[in-house]
Amino acid sequence: MNLTPFIPEIASTQAYQFELLFWYIAITTGLVGGAVYAALAYFCIKYRRGNTTGSTPRILGSHRLELAWTVMPLFVFMSYFAGGVIVYNNAAHPPEDAMEIFVIGKQWMWKAQYPTGQRIIIGGNPRNMTEAERESIGKLILPVGRPVKITITSEDVIHDFGIPAFRSKMDAVPGRYTQVWYHPTRTGEYHIFCDQYCGTWHSLMVGKVKVVEQKEFDDWLMGHTPLQGSRNAVDGSLAHEGRQLFLKLNCISCHSSTPNGKAPVLEGLYGSRVPLRGGGAEIADEEYIIKSIRRPRLAVVDGWESIMPAYDETQVTKEQMDALVAYIRSLKKGQTPDRTEYFPAPNGAPTYPRTQSPEKK
Ligand SMILES: [Cu+2]
């Protein structure tokens, strides 16, 4: 018997737990509801008008009955609650040894990045993609029988990464990192949907997750060349956050993609030798980058005015500094974002101020 219309495929440990709880609640509430309607129908007929069954006894309350119908449902409802806590708690805490994959939502595609640097584009319209994106179109490949943790964020509006066969979905929120984890139990292909309406081509944000044997997964990883410059997903996510900060803090107004006379371009800075005003030079490592942001006067780049404001911890927190450093460290030639790129665009807000809409340029 094919139950698919009623019970979608079950392909993860959480999906089993979810189904168990769902059917437990559906059946117990269904039984009680059914009993109420059955009694209703029975009494409708038994005590119909004109019937001569006679009068009912006069009952003025029964503590035992009242206690029974209060306490029994209490236990039943508490069992729903307990089941919910167990399932939720399990879903909210990925195991320590989970492999981490990073997923970014972007109107209207998903970008998945593996710890080894491989990148996959899921969904979207190939005609609106860059060459590199088009070449990475594919399925999210996962190994069976092993936990994976998915860290999710968005580059623009709110999306939602949903896989029905895993009974899992999670919002992708700009500027925030959310998390889900799966333990796939069956090989096969399952749907991925964007479960949050996100604009005109929301319907294109669909794709497949393909669960394969560990060996096949390893072979696939080997054959799929990693992206250059991405060391691992954690680093990639931090750099991504730093990129957003770089735009938000308006560093971009001086450090744009072209030397605009205000400030040096930061592409390829990491690891290079920077000549300083007044002689001497420094290697641009993490320490140098942090010093350049916290106390720019201490190391002014030769040939530039010392106009960069100092950013103390109220303006750039320690965590934000980590992200900025990861970003600058990862910044390669031609990767400085466009100055007119606004981030994060609030949901539904126009991307450009009306007076300078792209059509009028
Ligand atoms: Cu979406």
Contact 91, 21 (CB under 8 A): no
Q: Are residues 334 and 249 in the same domain?
A: yes
Residues 6+ apart with CB under 8 A from 43: none
199 CA to centre of ligand 1 in angstroms: 7
Whether residue 285 lies inside any domain: the answer is yes
Q: Are residues 146 and 259 in the same domain?
A: no
152 CA to centre of ligand 1 in angstroms: 12
Q: Are residues 103 and 218 in the same domain?
A: yes
Contact 98, 149 (CB under 8 A): yes
Q: Is the peptide bond before 181 cis (omega within 30 degrees of 0)?
A: no
Domain residues for 270?
A: 233-346
Residues with CB under 5 A from ligand 1 (ion): 159, 194, 198, 205
Q: Are residues 285 and 175 in the same domain?
A: no
106 CA to centre of ligand 1 in angstroms: 7
> Which backbone phi and psi does 188 adopt, to 5 degrees?
140, 180
List, for residues 176-198, the tens digit of each pLDDT value. 788 999 999 999 999 999 999 99
Distance CA 25, CA 77 (A): 9
- What is the residue whose two structure tokens read 């929120």? 173
33 CA to centre of ligand 1 in angstroms: 38
- Helix (H) / strand (E) element for 34: namely helix 13-46
Q: pTM score > 0.75 for this model?
A: no
Residue where a domain stops, chosen among 158, 191, 223: 223
Query: Does residue 351 carry a pLDDT above 50?
Result: no
206 CA to centre of ligand 1 in angstroms: 9
The strand ranges marked E within the chain are 99-106, 109-113, 119-122, 140-143, 148-154, 159-163, 168-172, 178-182, 188-194, 207-212, 273-275, 281-283
Give the CATH number for residue 110.
2.60.40.420
How many C-beta atoms lie closer than 10 Å to residue 123's C-beta?
22
List, for residues 73-102, the tens digit of each pLDDT value. 999 999 999 999 999 999 999 998 888 888
